[in-house]
Structure 1
Amino acid sequence: MTGYAIAYHPAVHRGLIRLCGWPKNGKQAAALVAAVGTILAWVNWGLGLIVGALMAREMGRQAYFRKIPVHYPVLCAAGYAGLGLIWHYGLSASAPLLMTVEKHFLWELTGEAVIPVNMTIFSGYAIGMSVLVLLFAVGICYLLHPKPERCRGIEQYAPELIGEEAKEEKPVVVSVADKIENNRWIAILMMAIMVGSMVWWFATKGFMKGLDLNSINFIFVLIGLALYHNPIAYLRTIVRAAAVVGGIILQFPFYAGIQGVMMYSGLGVTIARWLARAATPFLWPAACWFIAGIINIFIPSGGGEWMTIGEIMTRVTNELGVPIGKTIIAYASGDAWTNLANPFWAIPLLAITRMRVRDVFGYPLTICAISMIVFFLGLTFIPY
């Protein structure tokens, strides 16, 4: 939701309008949506997903007015690509950040109380994979866009969006309570305290060990307050965010039940052990990616899945003598990968773009299938 709040800020929307004026044809439009959505998904998966959806929608609108043939479903798929290709290498990556917690749940197996982000997110291995999948996302979305005569634009899928424009809400200040809620000095005081806290935190822990899930969320709340200037405007945006992600929130208890079955029955460990049985040090990263991808279909939660199969993966890692950071990134690749085959995380995008699963998801499935080659080669041959 913190990513959503940033994505919906008027300044971000104005930036998207300018960006959407650049492409000269449909292929360039799809490539640009993929590039922006994928890069921002590395920064924060929620930010990438929402900005990707907003950009696909705005690109569809501008293409209609500029008479540029675009295929709206491909634009929507391009906006979603980052959630299946790059988010789990980035700053909101669940598994790597879980391992930065002092005495994380696997510390007795890893022998290290903290696995800092320079061994995972900021390792050469993860950065190399990030660059590789970014180039792949841009290239595949460019190639998937059909010829002009086969394009179906936003007017054929969501004509109601053509005349819809974002409006900036002006606060109505009547009572003393309204003045307090809209007072930017309160936000400035809050931000000063938050900045001081973050400076102390990173000065005490160091950047690599201090960057964890809590600090990342804290930073995004701080950015949101800085953008909106007052607490009530930020609060209203967070409330809207909760409405958009309501479909995801509703499904989480059901997936949590599946996670519980797989965790406490031993099914998840059994599947992971069976798939890991034939692994070698050379092929373990690719095997780890594939295992995570299969189990992610049943447990579409990066942190929840890692809690389920992290122990067996760490044990195999120790047996094979593979660096734990390499295994975590390989796992992260698989956890993200099959998001492209699961519409669970696409609910906000579908709501924003007014699209149906059947109209869009053939393209993410295609990207998912072709990306197998990219993940296998990258995870196997990029040095750690």
Structure 2
Amino acid sequence: MFKKFTNGCVRVVNRWLPDPFLFAIILTIVVFIAAMAGTQQGPLELVWAWGGKGATKDGFWSLLAFAMQMALVLVLGSAMASAKVCKRALGAIASLAHNKRSAILITTFVSTICCWLNWGFGLIAGALLAREVAKRVKDVDYPLLIAAAYSGFVIWHAGLSGSIPLQIGAAGGTEILGVNYFAPTGDTIFHPMNLLMVVVILVLMPFVNYAMHPDKEHTIVVDPALLVDEAEREYKIETPADKIEHSRILWAITLILGFVYIVYYFVQKGFNLDLNIVNMIFLFLGILLHGDLRKYVDAISDAAAGAAGILLQFPFYAGIMGLMVAANADGVSLASIIAHFFTNISNDVTFPVLTFLSAGIINFFVPSGGGQWAVQAPIVMPAATEMGVEYGRAAMAIAWGDQWTNMIQPFWALPALGIAGLSARNIMGYLVIVTIFTGVVACGGFLLWGMFF
């Protein structure tokens, strides 16, 4: 019965799930039509709003800086995970796995922690760890092992690289519809309820994953050819240019400059994270771990391809945001219509739960935390103000909804699947169960958050 359910989910996803870029196009069309119907604006007015009205602060090009920040989160985290010292550490962790049970438990637990630290780092580190574990535990189900590695991604937006809490926690907050919203990381990432939900998932999800391990007859073991490591790039130092590129002096000066700034930042600002300082930390950690500027340049080049989806899709997310906030002569926008709908059917306790569920649905169409914030923040944050819901709780409801359905939206699984040599259909059935489990945890968590904090 269980296998029929998971196999059915896999068939549906494989048949109906297009490329994430097509989701952005489809959502653009849906929002365009909804805005015309809801606000009675003409198509040319909305096209003008979608494109930004000839400016860069609105519409299509309004998220350029944010898109760059998000691309760097992925690229810098991936480059750091590819450092030799990180790979050795993952190998040492993998050596602790001696049977199927420990293989799944260790892979899930470690990948979840890595994704909480940095989602780009966690995606790559989890896949690399799973490969190392598969070399040592020959009878583990390989698709489940890779699904376990990816399942850790379900808490990324509640962690240190979460784009929504870091943006609303930046100095001065973030401006939405002309209003400034601010919530420090103590009200988002480090709020006791957010941390409790993360801990519950961190502790229980490894056992949920192991409970799904198929019997021996249905276990799919790894093809040994998938576990052959690529030869390490060799460097020859022959010319003056080569010596400069591999200079330990330049490497050390770069590190000193970066880490002095990072320390001084926390002295001046306190422990208040935003996307810029998180990216700077991972940039200089990556340089440190690679031990060589030339090697780090090559690692960044290898990781940059993974950011292609962000660069292509973010302008369309920004255009959707322009459509959502485009107001008619009476000041009515599609965002305000939806915000009022939510305020009419919920209260200050249930509003974040409904926001979480709606964010999970929208994530199918906008598989990016930054893009989702662009689409939903103009709806949720004004409604939160109207209902008296703290900005941190409202923002985290969007963040949790975004990360929740990433389990069955394979866009972000692509880097891990590429390393594993698998396709989305191989792991999606297992991730449906992870989605159900984490959805229950999050709904319960937000209800408790509203009642007791």
Distance, in Å, in 1 between the alignment partners of 2:205 and 2:400 is 14
Describe the superposition over 1:205-236 as per-residue Cα deviations: whole angstroms up to 9, x where unpaired: 2222xx21000000100101111122111000
Shift of 1:74: 0.7
Alignment correspondent of 1:340: 407
Give the 3 Å change call, closer, same or farther, for CA 270–319 of structure 1 in structure 2: closer
Secondary structure of the residue that 1:154 maps to in structure 2?
A: coil
Instruction: Work out the percentage of aligned pairs sharing the same amino acid.
Output: 35
- Alpha carbons of structure 1 residues 353 and 263: separation in structure 2 relative to 1, 3 Å: farther
What residue in structure 2 maps to residue 313 of structure 1?
380
1:264-295: per-residue Cα shift (whole Å, max 9, x none)? Answer: 59656655654553111222221121121111
In 2 relative to 1, CA 250–378 (structure 1 residues): closer, same or farther, beyond 3 Å? same
Aligned residues: 372
| Cross-structure match for 1:215 | 277
For 2:279 and 2:447, the matched residues in 1 are separated by: 32
The amino acid across from 2:192 in the alignment is G
Q: How does 1:181-220 map to 2 (within 5 A)?
A: 181-208=245-272, 211-220=273-282
State the Cα distance separating 1:152 from its structure 2 match. Answer: 0.8
Contact 2:173 2:180 in 1 (8 A): no
1:188, 1:229 within 8 Å by CA — same for their partners in 2? Answer: no
CA contact (8 A) 1:6 1:224 kept: yes
In the aligned structure 1, how far is the partner of 2:381 from the partner of 2:321? 19
Q: 1:73 to 1:276 in 2, by over 3 A?
A: farther
- From 172, 175, 183, give the equivalent of 2:239: 175
Contact 2:165 2:189 in 1 (8 A): yes
Q: CA deviation at 1:52?
A: 1.0
Task: Name the amino acid aligned to 1:146.
Answer: P
TM-score w.r.t. length of structure 1 = 0.89
Q: Deviations over 1:239-262 (max 9, x none)?
A: 111234546655556666666655
Closer, same or farther: CA 298–184 of 1 in aligned 2, 3 Å: same
Q: CA deviation at 1:136?
A: 3.2
SS in 2 for 1:86: helix
Unmatched runs of 5 consecutive residues or more in structure 2: 1-74, 328-332
**For the Cα contact (< 8 Å) 1:290–1:334, is it kept in 2?**
yes
Q: Does the alignment pair 1:124 with 2:192?
A: yes
Give distance in 2, aligned partners of 1:131 and 1:236.
36
- Counterpart of 2:442 (choices 353, 375, 381) is 375
Separation (CA, whole Å) in 1 of partners of 2:150 and 2:339: 28
Matched, 1:136 2:200: no
Q: Quick check: 338-347 or 371-380, which moved more?
A: 371-380
Equivalent residues of 2:117, 2:160 under 8 A apart: yes
More divergent stretch after superposition (239-248 vs 138-147)? 239-248
Query: Judging changes above 3 Å, is the alpha-carbon distance between structure 1 residues 276 and 57 closer, same or farther for their aligned structure 2 residues?
Result: farther
Q: Could you tell me how far apart the structure 2 residues matched to 1:260 and 1:364 are?
A: 33
SS of equivalent residue, structure 2 residue 174 = coil
Q: 1:43 aligns with which of 109, 117, 121?
A: 117
Within 2, Cα distance between the matches of 1:270 and 1:344? 30
Equivalent residue, structure 1, for 2:17:
none
Q: Aligned letter for 1:160?
A: A
In 2, the alpha carbon distance for the partners of 1:256 and 1:136 equals 37
Deviation at 1:104, TM superposition (A): 3.1
Q: How does 1:261-276 map to 2 (within 5 A)?
A: 270=337, 273-276=340-343
* Alignment correspondent of 2:163: 94
- In structure 2, the CA distance between the partners of 1:55 and 1:271, relative to structure 1 (3 Å rule), is farther
Mapping for residues 1-80 of structure 1, pairs under 5 Å:
1-64=75-138, 69-80=139-150
Alpha-carbon distance in 2 for matches of 1:198, 1:351 = 34
Question: What is aligned with 1:228?
Answer: 290
Whole-Å separation in 1 of the counterparts to 2:178 and 2:189: 20
Taking the aligned partners of 1:241 and 1:97, their CA distance within structure 2 comes to 23
SS in 2 for 1:203: helix
2:339–2:383 contact (8 Å) kept in structure 1? no
Instruction: Tell me how far apart the structure 2 counterparts of residues 111 and 260 of structure 1 sit (CA, whole Å).
Output: 17
Distance 1:88 1:239 in 2: 25
- 2 CA distance for matches of 1:224 and 1:7? 8
Larger mean Cα displacement after TM superposition, 315-324 or 254-263:
254-263
Cα 1:195/1:115, change in 2 over 3 Å:
same
Q: 1:23, 1:29 within 8 Å by CA — same for their partners in 2? A: yes
- Structure 2-normalised TM-score? 0.76
The residue that corresponds to 2:365 in the other structure is: 298
Distance 1:304 1:244, change over 3 A: closer
Bigger radius of gyration: 2
Q: Find the residue that maps to 1:207 and give its secondary structure.
A: coil
**Letter of the structure 2 residue corresponding to residue 29 of structure 1:** A
Q: Which amino acid aligns with 1:224?
A: G
For 1:319 and 1:220, the matched residues in 2 are separated by 38
Query: 1: CA distance between counterparts of 2:322 and 2:177?
Result: 23
Aligned to 1:239: 301
User: Which 5+ residue runs of structure 1 have no aligned equivalent?
Assistant: none
CA distance in 2, matches of 1:108, 1:250: 25
| AA of the residue aligned to 1:121 | I
Matched-pair contact (CA < 8 Å) for 2:98–2:136: no
Larger CA deviation: 305-314 vs 217-226? 305-314
Shift of the alpha carbon at 1:54? 1.1
- Relative to structure 1, the CA distance from residue 181 to residue 264 in structure 2 (aligned partners, 3 Å threshold; closer, same or farther) is farther
304-313 vs 226-235, which deviates more?
304-313
**Deviation (angstroms), 1:148:** 2.9
Provide the residue aligned with 2:394 in structure 1: 327
SS at structure 2 position matched to 1:361: helix
Counterpart position of 1:160: 225
2:127 touches 2:420 (CA, 8 Å); kept in 1? Answer: yes
